[in-house]
Amino acid sequence: MSPLSPARRSIVEPALVVILAGVGAALHVGKLPPAIPALQQALGLTLLQAAFLLSMVQGAGMLAGVAFGALADALGLRRSMLLGLSLLAIASVLGGLSQHVALLLALRGVEGFGFLLTVLPAPGLVRRLVPPQRVSLMLGVWGAYMPLATASALLVGPLWIDAFGWRSWWWLLAVLSALAALRLAHAVPAGATAAANDGAAPVVLPWHARLAQTLSTRGPWWLAISFAMYSGQWLAVIGFLPAIYTQAGIGGAATGALTALAAAVNMVGNIGSGRLLHKGARPTTLLSVGFVAMALAAVVAFAGADGGAHAALRYVAVLAFSLIGGMIPATLFALAMRVAPSDQTLSTTVGWMQQWSAFGQFIGPPLVAWVAGRAGGWQFTWVVTGACSLVGLGLAAAIARLRLR
């Protein structure tokens, strides 16, 4: 059968629409950093307010990820994504009209909820849209949604804002979210995602039962904490690259390009992990390789940091840190489909993972910054990332002992 045959398109295209909708939602997370200078000039945004705007979307995930996962399971996967994309579009339109930082902050909170309602049900929806033998492959592609959105926002955002202003940047992403919702509604018709061979309709669990079932099972805990160990160190390293390179005397344009590339190569690890899982690689082996690589790469990148000396080698290590570490999130998403207590708790399990991922992103960068402040430089960053990787390795061993569905 040709790769472009109607049958193949009917299998693959709806899942790709779901993944691209996730990328569109994640663009709202990454749209703010390029806009901070423009917001400071236009609205008098302070650094503290900028920090709150940056953290608001992840704060929603940290405080209510598992609850919104349960809500997504209750609403239905497709309906939840459509609602989330609609919230993102509306909030972004209103944000572009905002004249006050307080309103923009409130709307960022709405965007945080819209983001969760969009991305939490997506892995479960992808799982239902593709045949079983392609699930790992497509979940590897799904795992790249956040680095793709981050790199795209870092590259396109500054150019767009310089040319058309920050308000049109908000409105552009609102249009993209609205178009994604329309495409999703067309590509994934209502009722088209019922699991194959379901037979009789299962008893629908109430949201509190979904929560209890998920949180009383060991597997979702091990995956969620593993995600925190990954996300905390990844964001700490990638997030501080502009500051590190600026201190080293590298120009702003070059710093933006270097950071965007470091974020973008993470996609290679995600997609590569999906392909390896598709070919039969053990998930816990991929987790272990990812954590070991992140630990070793961070040592090369930061230990004994001395300004410009060996700068190329250190940057290559950063690329390896992001690229090979990218195998971790894709593997965790694939494992979530197998450790969730039931099909009715897929989004709840992913929500629990998202909650811990957000916690890792919340605590990781301040911890690295604190260590850097105490040490007078970035040379002990590897201690923090190495500790995260050690915990991740221990969790990979625990996951290997689980009985998977």
User: Any residues with CB less than 8 A from the CB of 403 and at least 6 apart, and which?
Assistant: none
Segments in 1-100 forming alpha helices (H): 6-30, 36-43, 47-75, 77-97
Residue 208 is predicted with a pLDDT of: 79
Cα–Cα distance for residue pair 168/93, rounded to 1 Å: 9
End-to-end CA distance of the chain: 31
**How open is the CA angle 170-259-330, to the nearest 5 degrees?**
85
Q: Please return the burial class of 102, using the count of CB atoms within 10 Å of its CB with bins 0-12, 13-18 and 19+.
A: exposed
User: Any residues with CB less than 8 A from the CB of 97 and at least 6 apart, and which?
Assistant: 167
Residue 192 is predicted with a pLDDT of: 57
Cα–Cα distance for residue pair 81/72, rounded to 1 Å: 8
Structure tokens at 10: 């009917």
Residue 309 is predicted with a pLDDT of: 53
Cα–Cα distance for residue pair 205/124, rounded to 1 Å: 17
Structure tokens at 226: 């593993």
Residue 214 burial (CB count, 10 A): 29
Domain boundaries, the chain: 6-187+206-400
Residue 369 is predicted with a pLDDT of: 81
**How open is the CA angle 279-193-214, to the nearest 5 degrees?**
75
Residue 203 is predicted with a pLDDT of: 58
pTM of structure: 0.80
What does pLDDT average to in each consecutive run of 10 residues of the chain (405 residues)?
44 84 93 84 80 72 80 87 97 94 90 91 90 87 87 86 94 97 90 49 69 90 96 85 73 76 90 90 96 95 68 90 94 91 86 89 83 85 94 96 81
Q: Could you tell me how many residues make up the chain?
A: 405
Structure tokens at 264: 């973008």
Residue 364 is predicted with a pLDDT of: 85
6-187+206-400, superfamily in CATH? Answer: MFS general substrate transporter like domains (1.20.1250.20)
Structure tokens at 14: 């709806």
